[in-house]
Amino acid sequence: MLKINEIFYSLQGEGYFSGVPAVFVRFSGCNLKCPFCDTLHEEGKEMSVEEIVSVVCQYPALHVVLTGGEPSLFIDSHLIKALHDKQRFVAIETNGTRLVEEKVDWITLSPKLGQAQNAQIQQNKCDELKLVYQNDEQIKRLIKTLEESNFTFPKHLFLQPCDTGISAKNQKIIEDCVSFCKSNPLWRLSLQMHKLIDIK
């Protein structure tokens, strides 16, 4: 059984697949406590793989996003195979502290700084890197940490302004993030589109 916080149908609001209709499977629980985390994920109900797949298949989209919480702590090959058997494209949003060994179709990696010794980044490759931008100093440190490890940078590099919930502060973060992208053009902006248009 897997502890699931919610399963919902929306558009992918972030990163490479922004705008693509997708079914989100949100796992409950995480090994990090990012101060800026925008998700309440602690509550959940136990569901079998068959139940999860049955809810996912109520929606017409083939794109599925496993998120959380931290899905890499909980996924298993049975779930991935069951989704593949239904022709689903399986993407995962992960903080990278546990290696994703299952054969998923797309890994979105969003590592965080200042992780505890037992929560270091294990995932050293991915399809897209999506870093939460707080300020220049933080983002440069995060990128440097990745450069100094045996991390392979993917083709798709996104900076996502940290949503603080305070509009004036967000505006400054967005402006700084835009400046960073203009100075470092390998990076592009990922706005959390779903928040801008007030959908889930």
Ligand X SMILES: C[S@@+](CC[C@H](N)C(=O)[O-])C[C@H]1O[C@@H](n2cnc3c(N)ncnc32)[C@H](O)[C@@H]1O
**Catalytically annotated residues:** 24, 30, 34, 37-39, 93, 194
Which two three-digit tokens encode residue 161?
């302004």
Does residue 96 bind ligand SF4 (CB under 6 A)? no
Query: What span, in angstroms and rounded, lies between the C-alpha atoms of 56 and 7?
Result: 7
Query: What span, in angstroms and rounded, lies between the C-alpha atoms of 96 and 109?
Result: 6
Give buried/exposed letters for 49-61 (b at 16+ CB in 10 A, else e).
beebbeebeebeb
Instruction: Tell me if 160 is assigned to a ligand binding site.
Output: yes
Does residue 32 bind ligand SF4 (CB under 6 A)? yes
Does residue 13 bind ligand 2KA (CB under 6 A)? yes
Sign, CA dihedral 195-44-10-31, equals positive
Does residue 156 bind ligand 2KA (CB under 6 A)? no
Give the N- to C-terminal CA distance of the chain in Å, as an integer. Answer: 26
Does residue 83 bind ligand X (CB under 6 A)? no
Residues 112-151 that bind ligand X (CB under 6 A): 130, 132
Q: Which is nearer to ligand 2KA, 144 or 200 (CB)?
A: 200
User: Contact residues for ligand X (CB under 6 A)?
Assistant: 30, 36-39, 67-68, 70, 93-95, 110, 130, 132, 160, 162-163, 192
Annotation: binding site for S-adenosyl-L-methionine: 36-38, 69, 110-112, 160-163
